[in-house]
Amino acid sequence: MQADREGGWLAAFYFLYFCALGAFMPYWGPWLHAQGQGPLAIGILTAAVQFSKVLAPNLWGWLAHFWGSRRIVPYAALITAAGFLALGLAHGNFSALLLITLTFSFFWAATLPLVDATTMDWAQRCGTAYGRIRLWGSLGFIALSLGMGGLLAHWGMTAFLPGIAIFLVAAWGASRYLPYGTLPDANAPRPRLSSTLRHISLWFFLLAGLLEQASHGAYYAFYSIYAEQHGLGSAAIGMLWGFAVLCEVAFFWWGDRLVRRLGVPLVFTGAFVLTALRWGVIAWWPGLVWIILVQSLHAASYAAFHLAA
Please tell me the predicted confidence (pLDDT) of residue 187: 54
Please tell me the predicted confidence (pLDDT) of residue 17: 94
Residue 129, pLDDT > 80, answer no
Residue 39, pLDDT > 80, answer yes
Residue 23, pLDDT > 80, answer yes
Please tell me the predicted confidence (pLDDT) of residue 102: 94
Domain ranges for the chain, please list them.
2-175, 200-308
Least confident of 65-74, 135-144, 275-284, 289-298: 65-74
Residue 185, pLDDT > 70, answer no
Among residues 273, 254, 10, the alpha carbon closest in space to that of 117 is found at 10
How many angstroms separate the CA atoms of 36 and 30, rounded?
10
**Mean pLDDT value across residues 87-111:** 92
Least confident of 7-21, 246-260, 286-300: 246-260
Please tell me the predicted confidence (pLDDT) of residue 99: 95
Please tell me the predicted confidence (pLDDT) of residue 149: 77
pLDDT tens-digit profile of 56-83? 887 887 777 777 678 888 998 999 999 8
What pTM does this model have? 0.76
Please tell me the predicted confidence (pLDDT) of residue 96: 94
How many angstroms separate the CA atoms of 103 and 59, rounded?
14
Average per-residue pLDDT for the chain: 85
Residue 193, pLDDT > 70, answer no
Which residues, including other chains, have CB under 8 Å from residue 141's CB and lie 6 or more apart? 18, 19, 21, 22, 241, 242, 245
- For domain 2-175, the question of CATH label 3.10.110.10 is answered with no
